[in-house]
Structure 1
Amino acid sequence: MRIQNVALIGLGAMGSFFAPRIEQYLGRQNFQVIASGKRKERLEKQGVTINGVNYRFTVRQPEEQGPKADLIIMAMKDMGLDQAIEDIRNLVGENTQILCVMNGIDSEERVAAAYGWEHVMYSYMRMSIVMKDGTADFDPYWGKVHFGEAKNEELTPRTERIRDFFENCDIPYQIDTDMKRGIWFKYMCNVGENLTCALLGIPFGAFRSSDSANAIRRGAMREVMAIANKKGIPLTEQDIEDQEATVRNIPFANKPSTLQDLEGKKKTEVEMFAGTVVRLGKELGVPTPISWMFYHGIKVYEEKNEGKFEIE
C-alpha cells in the first residue's frame, strides 16, 4: 500500500529536511505539520524559511479529528518527546508507521511503549543544518535519513514501502544492516562532536586544525564506545577513525545543535547526551570524566543564560 498521507511533528532543523520535499510530492492536502498554541500561530503567520524559500505548510492541531497518517515523522528535541507521543495519538491508525528521527538512543522504545512495535521503526539522521530564527540553511543532499527494522539483511514490506516513498520524494536515505549499531554510532559522534563544540563555543571547522579539540572529541567518543560495548553494541576504534573524514568535511562555520541552543539561550539536550552517558557509566562501571565535564559545564552555560550570575 502506497504512502499517501504524512504528518510531521517537529518542524525544526531535522523537520526542515523532510517537509518541502514531502509536500511537493504529496501535495498540500496530504502533508500536515502537527503543532498547537503559539507555535501553530507562528507557523501559519510567519511560516518557516528553508534554503531561502518561505513555506506555509498545513498545520493540524493534535486534538483535531481527521484522516489517519500512513507515516508520522517525529523530529522534535528529546525534552519534547513525551508530549509529542500524546500529540500524535489522533493520527495513529491500523497501518500507521512512525519514524522518530530525533537524537538519542531510546526514543523508539518510548514510542513503542505507547503504540507498539508494529507501528515503530528504527531511524536516525546524519546531517548538519544551521537553523536560526525560523530559517534553515543546508545542502539537501549532504545528509540522509537512516531507517529500517533492527536488522535488515532482508527488507520487510514496511521497510520497502517507506524506501519507495523516500525515493519518490527525492529524500536521501540509507537502510542499515544493523540499525541499533547505527543509532549508537551516531550517538557516539554526537556526544563527541556536538558537546565539544558546545562547551568550547567552537564551530565544526575547529576539528580541522585543533589537536586539543580533537583529543576531547575522541575521548568522549571512547566513553560512549565503552558503554555501547558493555551493552552488546559492537562499536570499535575503527568507527572513530572512519568518522574523521566526515567531521572534517562538515562546512567550517556550521555549529551543532547544542551550541545553537546555547547561543539562542534555549534549553539544550545535555540530559539526553552527557547526562545519559554519565548515568549509564555509573550503572555499567565505565568511567565517564569527559561526559561528566560536558554535563556540568553546559549546565553552567544554561544557568548563565537564565541570568543566574548577573551582577546587580
Structure 2
Amino acid sequence: MKVSIIGLGALGILFGHHLSKKMPKGDLRVIADKDRIKRYQEEGVFCNGERCEFQYVSPEDHCEPADLILFAVKFNGLHDAIQTVKHHVGEHTVILSALNGISSEAIIGEAFGMDKVLYCVAQGMDAVKVGNQLTFDHMGMLCFGDREPGVVSNKTKSVGEFFEKMELPYEIDTNMQRRQWGKFMLNVGVNQTVAVYQGNYGEIQKEGQARDTMIAAMREVIQLSEKEGVHLTEEDLNYWLDVLSTLGPTGKPSMAQDMEARRMSEVDLFSGTVLELGQKHGVSTPVNKELYEKIKTLESQFS
C-alpha cells in the first residue's frame, strides 16, 4: 500500500515513524509545503531520540494516488490540508482522520466523498512534542470503522489487514459514532482541565479538584449525547477513565502543550462545541463554560 500523511504533529510523527520502519521508503509520503520540508530536512524530526527517515513531497508534486491517507493536522489546519492532499486522492483511496472532535470526517467527506472516509479515533497515546522532538511511553492505537453501525466493509477489513502487517496497534469498532463521542468526552475533560490547572496526566489521575473538574466536564457531554441520540453512559465514562489511567503521568495532552508554547488551542472544538450544543438543546453546561472562559483568558495573554 502507498500511504500519505498530512501533518507532522505528535500523531503524524508517532505513526509515521512506526510505518517508516516497516514500509519501503518510497511507499510512505509525508506531505508538507516546501519551506517546512526544508526545515524538516535541515533540523530533522525525532521520535524518542531517533531521527525519522521520511520521504517528503510538496502539494505541487504530482504522484501516484495513495491507497491510504492519514490526516494528522490540528482542526484549524484542516481546510488547508484538504487542498494540500488533492493529488494524493484517487478512485480507491481510503481516508482516516486522527483529528480531535466529532466533525472532521464530514468535512473531509464533503471534499472527497464520504465513500472514501472511514471514521477514526486515535487513543491511548501519551506523546509530548517539543520543537522537533517527540517523546512517548505509550503509542496508543487507531480505532476505526464504518459510518454505519454494525457494518465492517471491505475498506475497513483491508486497512485492518494492512495495520496487522505493519504491526501498528489498531481496533475495528462497529459503533464509531459512540467511540468518537466517547473520545470527545475525554478530550473535553482531560485537555481542558490539564491546560487550566497547568499540570500533566498525573494531576488528573489522582483524586482531587482537577480530577473532579474533569469528570464534571465529561458528564456534561454525557447529557448532550442523550439529546444527540448517541446515549453515552457512566460505563463509557469509566472506560475512558481506564484509558486515561494507562498514560504516563508526566505526559500532557495537546492543549496543555499549546498553552506552554503560547499557541492558540482547540478550545472552540471542545468546550466551544459543548456550549453550542448546550444552547441548542437547552442544557446547562457551567463547568465547560468556566473552562472555556479560563482558556480564552490565558490565550488573550499570548502576544
What interval of TM-score do these two structures reach, taking the shorter chain for normalisation?
Answer: over 0.9
Instruction: Describe how 1:1-312 pairs up with structure 2 within 5 A.
Output: 4-126=1-123, 127-139=125-137, 141=139, 143-151=140-148, 153-306=150-303
Distance in structure 1 (CA, Å) of the matches to 2:27 and 2:232? 40
1:34-91: CA deviation from partner (whole Å, max 9, x where unpaired): 1004322211212210011011411111121111111100000000001111111111
Distance in structure 2 (CA, Å) of the matches to 1:248 and 1:95? 39
Distance in structure 2 (CA, Å) of the matches to 1:131 and 1:285? 39
Work out whether residues 35 and 59 of structure 1, in 8 Å CA contact, stay in contact via their aligned partners in 2.
yes
Q: Which runs of 5+ in 1 are unaligned?
A: 307-312
One-letter code aligned to 2:260: E
- Aligned residue for 1:189, secondary structure, equals helix
Distance in structure 2 (CA, Å) of the matches to 1:11 and 1:80? 12
1:169-212: CA deviation from partner (whole Å, max 9, x where unpaired): 11100111200100000000110011001011011101233421
Distance in structure 1 (CA, Å) of the matches to 2:52 and 2:89? 25
1:135-189: CA deviation from partner (whole Å, max 9, x where unpaired): 1111354x11001102463521111110011111111001112001000000001
- Aligned residue for 1:66, secondary structure, equals coil
- Aligned residue for 2:91, secondary structure, equals strand
- Tell me by how many angstroms 1:293 deviates: 1.4
User: What is the RMSD computed on CA atoms of the aligned residues?
Assistant: 1.4
Q: Which runs of 5+ in 2 are unaligned?
A: none
- Tell me by how many angstroms 1:305 deviates: 2.1
1:284-306: CA deviation from partner (whole Å, max 9, x where unpaired): 11111111111121111112122
1:89-142: CA deviation from partner (whole Å, max 9, x where unpaired): 11100010100111010000000001111111100100221111111111354x
Output the TM-score relative to the length of structure 1. Answer: 0.93
Distance in structure 2 (CA, Å) of the matches to 1:197 and 1:16? 23
Work out whether residues 8 and 32 of structure 1, in 8 Å CA contact, stay in contact via their aligned partners in 2.
yes
Work out whether residues 126 and 138 of structure 2, in 8 Å CA contact, stay in contact via their aligned partners in 1.
no
1:227-264: CA deviation from partner (whole Å, max 9, x where unpaired): 11111002001221233333233211111110101101
Distance in structure 1 (CA, Å) of the matches to 2:168 and 2:37? 25
Distance in structure 2 (CA, Å) of the matches to 1:85 and 1:20? 22
Task: Report sequence identity in percent.
Answer: 35
Distance in structure 1 (CA, Å) of the matches to 2:157 and 2:2? 17
